[in-house]
Every structure is written in structure tokens, then in C-alpha cells.
Amino acid sequence: MGQQSRDELRYENADAPGRKRQSDEQYRISLRPAWFDDDIHSGAVSPRLRTCLVEGSGMAVNALSLGWGKIVSKGAIAGIVGGIVIALFLFVALGLLPVHLTPVQILTSFAHYIHAESPVVGLLAHLVVSILWGIGYAYVAATRPAAVASPWLAGVVYGLIVWLLMQFILILGAVWPGLTPIGFVVQIVAHTAFFGIPVAFTTRALARR
């Protein structure tokens, strides 16, 4: 029998139980020399070369790790941006509506959720929660890029998820203030258009840097 080519060896018994046919990128990674990992750690290898597509999962996975440092830092920035944008929207919207709440009153209402009275505490609590949600979106963007391909759609969907989960958390904490029809509309618009979408676009912009 003649010598088998590399491609023949690669695909031999690919359909056998417990085996999967490797993608081109996975196959190249499996053949990389020992010094390759050292170069990755030293930063000599471009970040683009570190990422491969896990066949059949649609998940982008870093060759070494998920890069939690970047996920947290970029998610925190996106969360702060979203937190500021949604707060500004609420200041304007609730100031124009019949309830006529001032920014100080709104921030104080945020503090009530953690049984505090200070608007400064309310602002800090709001930013912390926004950062956590921003990190959550950054994690999804890093592990499921196909799910956030459209920032507009992903932002709206993520904003709705954030709103629903926050209602659930507030109910569990016995601090849910209830909802009026106008309040419902304001909150949905706030969380989708003025939080989810800014977070999505900020995360996308940071990913390109």
C-alpha cells in the first residue's frame, strides 16, 4: 500500500463512533509545534490566531481561555455607558411625566431597593448593577458571537431579559414597587433602547479595538 497523504490520515475513520471530523482550523492547531503556546503566552502571536471555531457549536473559543480580563473590563465599560444613558433617559422622561420626579428623587428610589436613603448610594448601586449586566452581555458576545451579530436586535432582546430578571429579583427582595401602564412603557423603552442597545454597540466597538 502506498504512503497515505496527510489529508487521508486526517479523515480516516472520521465517522467512527466517538470521533468527529476536525475543522481546518482545529487540524492546524493540533499540528502546531511546542513553542507555539509559549509565543501565545508571550504575546508574540496575534489575538486573531488564538481564536478557533468549535465545530458544530457556533461558539468562538479562545485557544487558551475566554480572556476573562477583557470580558470584565469591556463589559464594565459597556455597562457604565448603558447605565449613564438609561439614567439620563429616566431623568428626562420621569421629569416630563405627571409624576414629575427629579434626578435626586430617582436616584433615591434606586437606593430604596437596597434599603438606603441616599441618592449617592442609589447612583452607586445603579452603576454596579449596570456593570454586572454589561459584563453579562460581554460574556455572551465573547462566547456566542452569532447571537449578537446585530447590535440592534441583540440590544433589544438583552434589554428585555435584563428588565424581566430585574423584576424577578425585586419581587424576591420584597422591594418591587409595582407598575402602572405608563411606568411599564417607560421601563420597557428604557431597558431596550437606552440600556440594551447602548451596551450592545459599546461592546461591539470595544471588540474592534
| pLDDT at residue 93 tops 80 | yes
- Per-residue pLDDT band for 21 (boundaries 50, 70, 90) equals low
As a whole number of angstroms, the distance between CA 50 and CA 59 comes to: 14
Domain ranges of the chain: 6-62, 68-207
- Per-residue pLDDT band for 94 (boundaries 50, 70, 90) equals very high
As a whole number of angstroms, the distance between CA 175 and CA 169 comes to: 9
- β strands within 15-164, DSSP E: 51-54, 59-62
As a whole number of angstroms, the distance between CA 51 and CA 23 comes to: 13
Q: Over the stretch 156-194, which tens digit does the pLDDT of each residue have? A: 999 999 999 999 999 998 888 888 999 999 999 999 999
122 in Cβ contact with 109 (< 8 Å): yes
Q: Over the stretch 33-81, which tens digit does the pLDDT of each residue have? A: 443 454 445 444 444 444 443 333 444 444 345 689 999 999 999 999 9
Q: How many CB atoms lie within 10 A of CB 146?
A: 8
Supply the pLDDT for residue 51. Answer: 46
Report which residue type is found at 105. Answer: Q
Report which residue type is found at 85. Answer: V
Supply the pLDDT for residue 34. Answer: 46
Q: Residue 54: helix, strand or coil by DSSP?
A: strand
- Give me 140's grid cell: 455572551
- Give me 206's grid cell: 470595544
Q: Which of 20-29, 133-142, 144-153 has the lowest mean pLDDT?
A: 20-29
As a whole number of angstroms, the distance between CA 122 and CA 130 comes to: 12
167 in Cβ contact with 159 (< 8 Å): no
195 in Cβ contact with 154 (< 8 Å): no
Give the global pTM.
0.70
- β strands within the chain, DSSP E: 51-54, 59-62
Q: Residue 130: helix, strand or coil by DSSP?
A: helix
Beta bridge partners of 62: 51
Residue bearing the bigger pLDDT, 55 or 117? 117
